[in-house]
Structure 1
């Protein structure tokens, strides 16, 4: 999500497409949020507003609001992250953005294990929802990035999974990824899944893995995925990829709804 994904073929990036079964563990998760309480659980999540003034990466157009129900709330048992066409110019950290949205980051980094995030996505042109992971410190791309789910509204229902590292990233045209079409991604909830192990990363939807990358043992430039990462939920607006076909202001507000987040620590 820090760096946008252009069509893999045009960059010459390797495709790691698979079709393999995935199954969530049956035991109690190590970390979970069922969004069954009033408001965002700030013991589990923090708002990221760090680049509001300077502007967000990829030329994105949103301001990420904190503690503002219009943009982030719990409603009918689901987390709602809503992007709106509005200019919050009265806020001290406002950077001139014409849209407001939300971005949540897990309070503690999470490591090896199985992740499942059940979500319904926005399909309006200009919307860019993501479920992803990033190292809590270091410099991108060397610190690594795991994109469990990205979708852009102008190419609705096409779900992308991508890994970035020092050796494999979009700037070099070498990012490792795959995609799958989920026809009802914007009208129904689906489970976006990650199986993160020391020797491999598999990403899928609804129990079917569509991307798998193996650790070839060549070192941190290829495989920085050896320590816990932050889990991130956000809805960006526009940007180099999300806004590639422009932004349709008439479709806003746009929402990403999250039924639950569950994580089972690896053994």
Structure 2
């Protein structure tokens, strides 16, 4: 069990690390953090294939949680770099000529770093502007690379549904939360669909702390009870996607399309070796 004083200290450390994710690099380095991986989405065209791949594996069978979208690969209409941003666009259309089509009436994209970049611990910051409208469900999240779900764990850095435009959530899923909605916290962001915000976590061996623009709103602590509660000492990879409908997205208003999920940058900071609690990465 963590004593109250130790818990307060951990909260202060986590909050400081998250706040510095947006600050000068020299300040981060003084705390022992360096930039380990990033994508600033410079240039134009499709997402960098050295950093991202397209996840389309469930198109034919249908996606989880009763989602309604078809995730397209290598299709600029659904994922492109433009104006220094990654733009994921969901559209009301059916790509009937594609062999993995499962009858979906909406298209979108799901980008992952699996096999290209995976991390254990660090400060993760994704600056994004979210889509709105009934049925939209953008997400910034992570999955365990070493084991399937739920044993590998899931870290939902940010989830948002268009039917609740002023609220974002951060959630943990693992074997101990299976059959539930996970361990979640919420934060009000009234202009989430109109302005860019920094969606952040600080992931250490002790806890995963969630924040927006450096303001902490949720924390999941390692209770030291085993891997069912804490599978988060092994690598995870990052996912960016825009789902439609499903159990969280709910009913879809076809009048909202096309809708855009815009990501300005993705940055991963990790502790420098020798500063304590050093992280590991594969990149």
Gaps of 5+ in 1: 1-17
Alignment counterpart, residue 76 of structure 2, candidates 60, 69, 77: 69
Q: CA deviation at 1:138?
A: 2.4
- Equivalent residue, structure 2, for 1:7: none
Q: What is the aligned counterpart of 1:29 among 30, 35, 43?
A: 35
Deviations for 1:164-213, whole angstroms, at most 9, x for unmatched residues? 111124x146x211000101100000000010001110011001111111
> What is the match of residue 253 of structure 1?
258
The TM-score normalised by the length of structure 1 is 0.89
| Of 200, 205, 209, the match for 2:207 | 200
Higher helix share: 2
2:121 equivalent in structure 1: 112
How big is each residue's C-alpha offset from its partner over 1:76-124, in whole Å with a ceiling of 9 and x where there is no partner?
A: 1100000000000100111100000001001221221100000000011
Q: 1:62 to 1:137 in 2, by over 3 A?
A: farther
The total of aligned residue pairs comes to 246
**Which is bigger in relative contact order (C-alpha 8 A, separation at least 6)?**
1
Instruction: Return the offset for 1:139.
Output: 2.8
1:64-86 deviation line (CA, Å, top 9, x unaligned)? 00110110001111000000000
Which of 129, 141, 145 is the aligned partner of 2:150?
141
Q: Hey, which bits of structure 1, 4+ residues long, moved more than 4 A? A: 18-21
For the aligned residue pairs, the C-alpha RMSD in angstroms reads 1.5
Check the 8 A contact 1:87/1:100 in 2, yes or no.
yes
Q: Specify the SS of the correspondent of 2:248.
A: helix
Question: Which of 148, 166, 185 in structure 2 is aligned with 1:157?
Answer: 166
Larger Rg: 2
Mean CA deviation greater in 135-144 or 65-74:
135-144
- 2:94 is aligned with 1:87: yes
Partner of 1:176: 183
Does the Cα contact within 8 Å between 1:24 and 1:114 map onto a contact in 2?
Answer: no
C-alpha contact 2:70 2:104 (8 A) present in aligned 1: yes
